[in-house]
Copies of this chain bind each other. A is one copy, B any other.
């Protein structure tokens, strides 16, 4: 076998983002047993910091032991039962995927759609909760990684709760880079990934459940179809006091990395961090627009910049040139945007003025 020597990249795609050496060093700390008191302490502190970053008091806030999409599956399979109804807002890959995950869990899905790249106006949400009043939950993507669209959540939440439904939010590409105020916005279940604006390697999916969501889960009549993601058992490990019940072997070293990544977020300060993401986005945007490159969504995320590939430019060869000549990764378009858009991530450790300026200059040289 060849020695393992992955090259150092500047990761400016849709994720993973660049990971700092401080987090990589934490990741490589000595492995502890998953029931070792010293490990339990680290895990508990990780959950404390996760609550701070989610801006929530939710007791049930923890990292699911698998990558981002496992958070979606964990929330859907625990919150919903076969025969339940749900409204799912679809404007890209991740809303589409949520429909699939819901249906596999036996849920009757009412999908509402706007074109990829657009966001949902309040009127559409109000109309949907009126048309499908038996829905247990409405699910929506805060940060659509496939299109860069930035969905406002606060007003949606009011409409959903007035209709007596639970609000499920995908915050994979926003947590740690945009405002995500779980308690203020009354989000009932939210999932994210570690490999985006937290700049921790991929492998964990932070989730948080409101008391109302916990109540709904306690009233289930059927077992959760997934043993691995069953919160009724997981909570005895993550939020048990005293004796921790063994469920599965926790991904110990990945928790170390998340611990360090969250500590870095809180040292910087959430507000400062969110402002940094805004500033680098504005800088990138100005630079791209000067080059005649325009944005796909009207309401763009700061963390994920989905832009039209200029006419006559070959998608793959530019991305390959960036990778080979500059060791910069940017992302390809998905679905209707395949070959037509690039997705430029400005997330966490990679969201710097230096990276923006380098990318702009590298793009100019590669076009």
The answer to whether A6 touches B24, judged by C-beta atoms less than 8 angstroms apart, is no
CA A252 – CA B9 in complex, angstroms?
13
Within 8 A of B (CB), among A317-345: 323, 329, 334
B-side contacts of A225, CB under 8 Å: 104-105, 225-226
Give the size range of A's interface with the partner. 35 or more
Within 8 A of B (CB), among A200-246: 201-203, 223-228, 246
Q: Mark A9-41, 1 if CB is under 8 A from B, else 0.
A: 101010110110000111111111110101100
B-side contacts of A353, CB under 8 Å: none
Q: Which residue of B lies closest to A172 (CB)?
A: B249
Give the copy number: 2
The answer to whether A7 touches B30, judged by C-beta atoms less than 8 angstroms apart, is yes
CA A2 – CA B26 in complex, angstroms?
13
Within 8 A of B (CB), among A116-134: none
**Chain A residues proximal to chain B, CB less than 8 Å:** 1-2, 4-9, 11, 13, 15-16, 18-19, 24-34, 36, 38-39, 42, 45, 49, 65-70, 72-73, 97, 100-101, 103-105, 193, 195, 201-203, 223-228, 246, 248-254, 256-257, 259-260, 263, 266, 323, 329, 334
Beyond the given pairs A1-B259, A203-B251, 18 more chain A to chain B contacts, judged by CB atoms under 8 angstroms and listed by A's residue number, are A2-B45, A4-B29, A6-B38, A7-B30, A16-B249, A19-B253, A24-B31, A28-B28, A31-B195, A67-B251, A97-B227, A201-B253, A201-B254, A202-B250, A202-B253, A225-B225, A226-B226, A246-B334
Q: List 23 A-B contacts (CB under 8 A).
A: A1-B263, A2-B45, A6-B32, A6-B39, A7-B38, A19-B30, A19-B31, A24-B28, A27-B28, A31-B202, A67-B248, A67-B250, A68-B249, A70-B248, A73-B228, A103-B223, A105-B225, A201-B253, A201-B254, A202-B252, A203-B203, A225-B225, A225-B226
